[in-house]
Chain A
Amino acid sequence: MTKKIATREAYGAALVELGQKNPAVVVLDADLSKSTKTYDFSQKFSNRFFNIGIAEQNMMGTAAGLAAAGKIAFTSTFAVFATGRVYDQIRNSIAYPRLNVKIGATHAGLTVGEDGASHQSVEDIALMRCLPNMTVLVPADSVEARAAVLAAADIDGPVYIRLGRSEVPVLHDEANFNFVPGKAITLREGKDAAIIACGIMVSAALEAAEQLANQGVSVQVLDMHTIKPLDVEAVVEAARATGAVVTAEEHSIYGGLGGAVAEALVENYPVPMRRVGVRDTFGESGKPQELLEKYGLTASDLVRVVYEVLKRKGK
């Protein structure tokens, strides 16, 4: 069976790795270090770790000041608090002055689970994507999460890194993994349709493609780990090669990956397309798997939607 690791675990480990490599790296947290996994960094580099308490606005502003003085500041809290709660601080103190603040947002999406809708961020990608100067990364597994954190430190400017609470299958091979922000990764070739996915939906997409292959349908799978800047070339190429596109994300169908891909296709190469995501609703309490099933975010949902889009394509 495939190994499973939460992307937030990889975040914590990558911060320690970065801490050893680069003395300019500092980490801030808002009283959630055990959950966001910044705890190890706080123990190893106590002078470079700042617990700001339950005061996310001040955490973002303090990170901006640290960055203005030459630091690479990682701010860590749950995605729901890392975006909407501090939107203006990110906009005016971080994105507008293009400061080196990296927002590590854990517990994103429905799979935060039992805590319910107040803690389930399904609009954070949309909020971050429309900010000028912001890079938006949504890693699919622990290997990609580590690479995204290391890459974020090298990017000059603000980066949003979306991470999950629950364990997810390890899809990528650490030894042969090449992560380039803004460059999609083709995980499976196919000619009938393309599934463009991010985050935890990448493994669901691979599962769906496998099921469809058994039914004689050939599906390409793209791991779109960077929502912004979007790899428009890869999106258009997938549309050209397959003529039918499905997006998959643990996020609202508005403004996230689905929105970004739709914008790119409409302007460049329109083909039949469907978005799989949370359909303009808040979540609720439940086990992660139960929630994914109820809100239509499983491999079998993707299979159904691929058939729908194939029908529109006229196959």
Chain B
Amino acid sequence: MSKKTEKLAKLRDQARQIRRYIVSMVGEAGSGHPGGSLSATDIVTALYFDVMRIDPQNPGWPDRDRFVLSKGHAAPVLYAALAERGFFPVEKLRTLRQLGSPLQGHPDMRKVPGVEMSTGSLGQGLSAANGMALAGKLDDRDYRVFVLLGDGEIEEGQVWEAAMAAAHYKLDNVTAFLDHNGLQIDGPTDVVMSAEPLADKWRAFGWEVQEIDGHDMEQILSALARARETRGKPSIIIARTVKGKGVSFMENEVNWHGTAPKPEQVEKALAEL
């Protein structure tokens, strides 16, 4: 195996492990958002296990890269990645959503090492990412800021205020992912509130736009490499994804947006993963 093939295989394995944690922890919690966590898993895996400059032993390192989970309900994928990466023990994952647990239903930056911004109320993460990016430029630090947006989330007006500002301030240290799984709580995004044409909209707002398959690890990595080379403007990677990806009975099923699997469903899902 070439080095590259080996790396890709390792990342795919890692993604599978994270999916297993997502299904288990949401099942254990008895509530949570598996669908949008599973659709974002490959992206989050690529960031935390290949791309981002981070040190789990030193989560406050000023030069670290930052990741803002703007679609905060996908907390399980972030928690699983942070635990697997060594920010806290994986055993903690079982406490998701329980009273007294640091693993709140939506991420709390004051409770969990590695969580860069408290999110949950949609549409706010890109603004925060912009602020971190502005601070980085001001302090002459070369860290990068990554942000994950949902395709339903971008119906929030603040996202477009922030999109305008990121281009205005030429924040080429910002890279956004759009987790384009096509589903939101009330149904398909193009039925509930169409934001199409997506790529044209972001381009018109002054962004460098790439469109990829959000489950193809090679495409994710090469898009991130190209985003890194982009100068003078922010980058967005529109990632076509499948809600519930990896668990056959969850895939493209809107009902798995915010429903926890029952124990027998967890078993079935783990057998597939």
Contact = CB atoms under 8 A, between A and B. Distances in A.
Interface string A48-67: 10101101011011111111
Contacts of A73: 131
A88 B116 CA distance: 19
Interface string A24-68: 001000000000000000000001101011010110111111111
Nearest to B68: A65
A92 interface: yes
A100 B117 CA distance: 13
B128 A62 contact: yes
Contacts of B127: 57-58, 60-62, 64-65, 89, 93
B158 A68 contact: no
The SS class assigned to the B binding surface is: helix
Interface in B31-63: 62
Contact of A92 (B121, B129, B169): B121
B129 A65 contact: yes
Contacts of B116: 68
A62 B130 contact: yes
B131 A97 contact: no
A93 B134 CA distance: 17
Nearest to A47: B138
Q: How large is the interface on B (under 10, 10 to 19, 20 to 34, 35 or more residues)?
A: 35 or more
B161 A65 contact: no
Contacts of A96: 108, 118
A61 B108 contact: no
Given A55-B161, A57-B158, A58-B158, A65 B110 contact: no
Contacts of A66: 131-132, 134-135
Interface string B21-33: 0000000000000
Nearest to A133: B110
A50 to B, nearest CB: 7
Given A70-B62, A92-B124, A64 B117 contact: yes
A98 interface: yes
A71 interface: yes
Interface in B83-126: 108-110, 116-121, 123-126
A57 B128 contact: no
Contact of A97 (B66, B109, B130): B109
A69 interface: yes
B148 to A, nearest CB: 15
Contact of B162 (A47, A50, A62, A68): A62
B176 to A, nearest CB: 13
Contact of B165 (A52, A60, A92, A98): A52
A86 to B, nearest CB: 9
A246 to B, nearest CB: 39
Contacts of B108: 96-97
Q: Which of B128, B132, B138 neighbours the largest number of chain A CB atoms within 10 Å of its CB?
A: B128
Contact of A89 (B117, B124, B168): B124
B158 A65 contact: no
Given A48-B138, A57-B157, A98-B110, A67 B117 contact: no
B161 A67 contact: no
A94 to B, nearest CB: 10
Contact of A69 (B125, B136, B169): B136
A132 to B, nearest CB: 12
Contacts of A68: 109, 116-117, 128, 131-132
B164 interface: yes
Contacts of B161: 52-53, 55, 57-58
B162 A69 contact: no
Given A91-B121, A96-B118, 6 more contacts: A55-B158, A62-B130, A64-B131, A65-B127, A65-B132, A71-B135
Interface of A: 26, 47-48, 50, 52-53, 55, 57-58, 60-71, 73, 88-89, 91-93, 96-98
Closest 10 interchain pairs by CB? A65-B131, A61-B127, A69-B135, A58-B161, A65-B128, A55-B161, A66-B131, A97-B118, A62-B131, A92-B121
Interface of B: 62, 66, 68, 108-110, 116-121, 123-136, 138-139, 157-158, 161-162, 164-165, 168-169
23 contacts: A26-B135, A53-B161, A53-B168, A57-B161, A58-B130, A58-B161, A58-B162, A61-B127, A61-B130, A61-B131, A61-B158, A62-B134, A65-B129, A65-B134, A66-B131, A66-B132, A66-B135, A69-B131, A70-B139, A73-B131, A89-B124, A93-B128, A98-B110
